[in-house]
Amino acid sequence: MLKKVDKPLLITIAVLLFFGLLAFSSAALGVLASNEVKFYSIIKNQLIFALLGGVIAISLGIIIPYRLYERFGYHLFFLALLATTLVFVPGLSIYHGGAHRWIDLGPVSFQPSELLKMGFVIAVALWCSKNRHLFRSWKYGLLPFAVGSGLVASIMLAQPDFGTFLIIMTAGTSVFFVGGARLRHLGIIAFIAIIGFATLVSFRPYMMERIKTFFNDTHDPRGASWQVNQSLVAIGSGGLFGRGLGQSVQKFNFLPEPIGDSIFAVTAEELGMLGVLFLLSLYAIVGIRGYMISLNAESQFARLLGIGIVTIVLTQTTINIMSMLGLFPLTGVPLPLISHGGTALMVTLFELGVLLQISKTSNL
């Protein structure tokens, strides 16, 4: 199974996952201080998902021929859409942090929007590859992309989950662009996105608060600005070499979600700039190697699918890190392969497994 896959990419993923487990275990000590039972439960679940579920997920991604996604691409997209709408079903949905994003499956919870990331990329890649000779017309280019985007937007913004929606649309648009979209169509999409975002902000007060915080980090220091200010304190106090693994101060009752979207700040505090540069280099290798594999894939569909997968991972990484640095409004997006979250971890590993499956037939 592993003989033909891209070894540099596989090794980098393994190192990134191991690094993530160390960073997560250290960040979780912040939970231990307040709830010992919860701490051991979180550690156990993350290890199970990473070591058992993660191995299964990436193995399935490597084993399943990517041409099956080409054959059933539209079906997978609509199934992902349907699964995501289940978060609105009473009795199934989990309401947390002001949003309906999870489905309660008894002993575990599940975030179906993670599947929608992959589903949308597959659908766009399939449409672009099958209709590339007609793709530059609005009927076969802009219109179907706008319809698919509208379906995704209606579900994701109703939850609401703007961060995941942004990742989905960035990845989908990148596939749409590489697939041969006209610049005029991309301009129309950008215009609609700007108008839509401005309208959304006017109806969502919490988004306006985050934008105010982004431009002025002294705005509401005990409320909206608290997380980014505490994050900057953690990152700044890490210096060049960091306080040492497990020695973060900010993860104890200062940083919200130290095992979630704030885990980068904890890592920066403990491992310093050198540790951060090492982490960033791992993501950079995944990105560079992933794009190289995709651009040298044997078919147009595989090329576009690979580009979409890499863009999902890099976009999510960029949004998380920039948010913690105060360079992007907070969205609650987790750091891939590092932050707490079984669904996100397993789906990301599956996506990277698909990328490794594509590497088997790449001309790289």
pLDDT tens digits for range 184-221: 999 999 999 999 888 888 878 778 878 887 777 776 66
Distances in Å between the Cα of 335 and the Cα atoms of 139, 234, 319 are 37, 17, 9
* Distance in angstroms (rounded) separating the CA atoms of residues 21 and 35: 20
3-class secondary structure, 100: strand
What's the pLDDT at 37? 61
Q: What is the pTM of this model?
A: 0.94
* Distance in angstroms (rounded) separating the CA atoms of residues 150 and 272: 42
pLDDT, mean over the chain: 88
Judge whether 264 and 273 are in contact, CB under 8 Å: no
Per-residue pLDDT, averaged over 64-75, amounts to 95
Six-digit token string for 185? 């169509």
Lowest mean pLDDT among 40-44, 197-201, 306-310, 313-317: 40-44
Which phi and psi (to 5°) does residue 174 adopt?
A: -65, -40
The one-character DSSP state at 285 is H
* Distance in angstroms (rounded) separating the CA atoms of residues 109 and 146: 31
* Distance in angstroms (rounded) separating the CA atoms of residues 364 and 353: 17
pLDDT tens string 59-69? 999 999 999 99
Judge whether 224 and 253 are in contact, CB under 8 Å: no
Helix H or strand E segment including 43:
helix 36-47
Residue 3 has pLDDT above 80, yes or no: no
CA-closest candidate to residue 339, choices 72, 24, 123, 8 = 24
